[in-house]
């Protein structure tokens, strides 16, 4: 299975407290003067009892999550600020006389077409009717497979989880990857868990399916029967799916087949014809989860064709719902927004359209964004920070007492080979084949989908382009990509609270420094360590060192398994292992790098806090986030990141430097005996 880039933060949640300024720069831009907000602290709580709440407790008590959000805090408000900046850029473009086909024209007209809800309302669900008619015309499962494969060219494909990207074992060569698909709930567990919350989600899911069908004119009784049949079919499919923890094993999920051999495994699906319909020319394929495709092969012929057609029609309507009339948008929000995530009211339309433009034309909008909001000196300063942490990481690897010299040399070679991407791409993507019409929002989305697919399949037979980015420049996130052996920091995250030119080193190293260390450590977490310096899935460890690493990683799993969320649920230490290792390593590396700075070497207090205390408070401030219960419940099941409280308390409870900074002693809840503390990297 192709591992997705390892993110700093899950896509389901995005960012900070209001800007504290009391002066302006020469160009009238507000200048921040306060970099840690003491008012958010709860000093009635001892730092050694719960440092997250000590640093953020008052803010947690006083903060209400806005109705259109699933959570609130650092990432969310930074994301909101970015959306406002992007909206301004787009609306400026709308006022300009843009040449047809220019970046300004495409960005402006895509946004405007989505904002024209009057025109969208008049169309109802007309835009998706042609696809529904194609599904209606299907007479047997072979035609169903053909339709499913054909649809990918138009962004309407079904049944197959397809991705073209580096072959995990030959990172310079592109390959087609097939992964499990066909579920509309977050993962397999939602179909089987018997707790009351999940049972209720399934009931609401049935209501959602029924509602969409009735909105297309199907009578309520038939719609309800369709919903039951679809849920039953998806439950059968879910039994074939790997669990979130199983999906984290890159070796287990790497299965290469000659097309002829895969055909033998799937006798009722014409594999060569499927690939041809998808415009993919290859003699070999990678199949992440073969069990899914073997089950799909059997279910296609064993389950009634009318049930399959109902499932595809529901999928088509649900996927199109955000671009259809209000009744469809409302129905989708009621389930995916309210029921699954706890969101109270829908996100404002302009915010959704900014997201659509960024998601669909990201490197066109990104050019406009970085010209206005990202300074060249920010890139230079960031590169300096990355290089500083890389030197510290090198020193830490050299000093490891549990790793042999043989493995150390390979680890150092991998560290030295990191590609560093900061701010935005050196070469921008082209969207010449994307046609954007201000009067047809749905058609615009189709054109983008067609472009994206064409761009993806064009990679087949070509060398991997390692200059490509996996995020747009305004994105408030960062990632490590194992196949590229790269760490990537988009312009969007290089802002306060993560990074500020005016902040002291304790603030920047505790924030963006820990982010840098986090992404570097992903190269050596339980997944990343299985890739060599060139990005190939290859075992470069001695057996003894691999065994020692696994033992240390198991300690981390056990530590996080004990963290309780929502009173009766626990963090899944196995699912979150990679992120927890990255958090633990990231903050430790950032601290050591900070101690090499003048401030880190000194003891001058700011706002009453020592340099070390400010470093740890900055780290805690980055994760000042409050989640809705529904969001937390879903995250525990699907998100490889631990909830924010444990992203703070977990790593710091393993750091003797934190103990010294805040006088943490035996008997404090965060205190661990030295023998219980973990240090991997």
Q: Model confidence over 265-274: pLDDT tens digits?
A: 999 999 999 9
> Exposure of 384 by Cβ count < 10 A (0-12 exposed, 13-18 middle, 19+ buried)?
exposed
Residues labelled as active-site residues: 519, 583
The stretch 98-127 carries a mean pLDDT of 97
How far is 108 from 95, CA to CA, in rounded Å? Answer: 9
**What is the structure's pLDDT at 376?**
87
Would you state the CATH architecture of domain 6-64+374-427+467-676?
Answer: 3-Layer(aba) Sandwich (3.40)
Say whether 606 sits in a helix, a strand or coil. strand
Partnered with residue 156 across adjacent β-strands are none
Mean per-residue pLDDT over the chain, rounded: 95
453 touches 152 (CB < 8 A)? yes
Q: What is the pLDDT of residues 405-462, one digit of tens each?
A: 999 999 999 999 999 999 999 999 999 999 999 999 999 999 999 999 999 999 998 9
Give the whole-number percent of the chain exceeding pLDDT 90.
93
Which residue, chain included where needed, has tokens 């029921």?
339
In this prediction, residue 99 carries a pLDDT of 92
**Axis-axis angle for helices 74-95, 362-373 (nearest 10):** 100
In tens, the pLDDT along 536-570 reads: 999 999 999 999 999 999 999 999 999 999 888 99
Look at residue 5 and tell me whether its pLDDT is greater than 80: no
Residues of the chain with CATH 1.10.1380.10: 126-323
360 Cβ partners below 8 Å, 6+ apart?
Answer: 110, 444, 445, 448
Average pLDDT over residues 575-596: 98
**pLDDT value of position 4:** 64
Please report the beta strands in 209-311, taking only residues with DSSP state E, as ranges in sequence order.
Answer: 256-258, 284-287
Comma-separated ranges of CATH 3.40.390.10 domains in the chain: 6-64+374-427+467-676
16 pLDDT tier (thresholds 50, 70, 90) = very low
The pLDDT of residue 656 is above 70:
yes
Q: What mean pLDDT do residues 282-311 have?
A: 98
Query: What does the pLDDT read at residue 309?
Result: 98
Model confidence at 73: pLDDT above 70: yes
pLDDT band at 30 (very low <50, low <70, confident <90, very high): low
CATH superfamily entry for domain 126-323: Neutral endopeptidase , domain2 (1.10.1380.10)
Residue 24 reports pLDDT greater than 60: no
SS (H, E, C) 188-241: HHHHCCCCHHHHHHHHHHHHHHHHHHHHCCCCHHHHHHHHHHHHHHHHHHHCCC
């Amino acid at each position: 299975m192709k591992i997705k880039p390892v993110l700093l933060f899950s896509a389901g949640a995005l960012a900070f407290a209001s800007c504290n300024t009391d002066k302006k720069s020469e160009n009238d831009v507000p200048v921040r003067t306060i970099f840690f907000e003491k008012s958010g602290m709860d000093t009635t709580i001892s730092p050694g009892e719960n440092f997250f709440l000590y640093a953020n407790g008052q803010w947690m008590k006083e903060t209400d999550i806005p109705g259109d959000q699933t959570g609130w805090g650092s990432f969310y408000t930074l994301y909101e600020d970015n959306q406002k900046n992007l909206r301004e850029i787009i609306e400026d473009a709308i006022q300009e006389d843009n040449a047809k086909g220019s970046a300004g024209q495409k960005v402006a007209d895509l946004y405007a077409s989505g904002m024209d809800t009057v025109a969208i309302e008049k169309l109802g669900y007309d835009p998706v009717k042609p696809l529904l008619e194609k599904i209606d015309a299907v007479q047997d499962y072979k035609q169903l497979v053909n339709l499913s494969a054909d649809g990918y060219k138009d962004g309407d494909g079904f049944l197959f989880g397809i991705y073209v990207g580096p072959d995990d074992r030959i990172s310079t060569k592109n390959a087609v990857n097939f992964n499990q698909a066909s579920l509309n709930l977050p993962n397999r567990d939602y179909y089987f868990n018997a707790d009351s919350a999940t049972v209720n989600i399934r009931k609401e899911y049935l209501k959602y399916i029924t509602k969409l069908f009735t909105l297309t004119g199907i009578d309520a009784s038939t719609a309800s029967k369709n919903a039951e049949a679809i849920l039953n079919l998806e439950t059968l499919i879910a039994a074939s799916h790997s669990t979130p923890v199983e999906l984290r094993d890159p070796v287990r999920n790497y299965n290469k087949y000659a097309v002829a051999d895969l055909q033998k495994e799937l006798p009722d699906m014409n594999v060569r014809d499927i690939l041809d319909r998808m415009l993919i020319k290859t003699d070999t394929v990678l199949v992440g989860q073969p069990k899914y495709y073997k089950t799909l092969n059997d279910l296609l012929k064993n389950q009634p064709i009318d049930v399959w057609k109902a499932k595809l029609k529901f999928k088509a309507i649900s996927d199109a719902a955000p671009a259809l009339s209000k009744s469809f948008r409302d129905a989708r929000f009621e389930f995916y927004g309210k029921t699954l995530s706890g969101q109270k009211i829908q996100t404002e339309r302009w915010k959704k359209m900014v997201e659509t433009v960024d998601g669909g034309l990201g490197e066109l909008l990104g050019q406009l964004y970085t010209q206005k909001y990202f300074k060249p000196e920010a890139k230079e300063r960031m590169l300096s920070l990355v290089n500083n942490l890389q030197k510290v990481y090198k020193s830490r690897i050299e000093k490891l007492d549990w790793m042999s010299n043989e493995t150390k040399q390979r680890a150092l070679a991998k560290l030295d080979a990191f590609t560093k991407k900061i701010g935005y791409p050196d070469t921008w993507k082209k969207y010449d084949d994307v046609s954007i019409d201000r009067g047809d929002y749905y058609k615009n989305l189709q054109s983008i989908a067609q472009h994206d697919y064409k761009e993806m399949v064009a990679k087949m037979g070509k060398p991997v382009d390692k200059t490509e980015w996996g995020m747009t420049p305004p994105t408030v996130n960062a990632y490590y990509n194992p196949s590229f052996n790269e760490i990537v920091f988009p312009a969007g995250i290089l802002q306060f609270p993560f990074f500020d030119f005016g902040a002291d080193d304790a603030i920047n190293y505790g924030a963006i420094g820990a982010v840098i260390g986090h992404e570097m450590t992903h190269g050596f977490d339980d997944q990343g360590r299985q890739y060599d310096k060139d990005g190939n899935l290859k075992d470069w460890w001695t057996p003894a060192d691999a065994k020692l690493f696994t033992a240390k990683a198991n300690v981390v799993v056990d530590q996080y398994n004990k963290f309780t969320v929502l009173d009766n649920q626990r963090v899944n230490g196995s699912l979150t292992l990679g992120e927890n290792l990255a958090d633990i390593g990231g903050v430790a590396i950032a601290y050591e790098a900070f101690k090499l700075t003048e401030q880190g070497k000194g003891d001058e207090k700011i706002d009453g806090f020592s340099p070390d205390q400010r470093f740890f408070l900055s780290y805690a401030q980055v994760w000042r986030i409050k989640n809705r219960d529904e969001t937390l419940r879903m995250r525990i099941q699907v998100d490889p990141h631990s909830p924010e409280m444990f992203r703070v308390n977990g790593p710091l409870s393993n750091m003797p430097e934190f103990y010294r900074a805040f006088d943490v002693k035996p008997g404090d809840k965060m205190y661990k005996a030295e023998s219980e503390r973990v240090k991997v990297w």
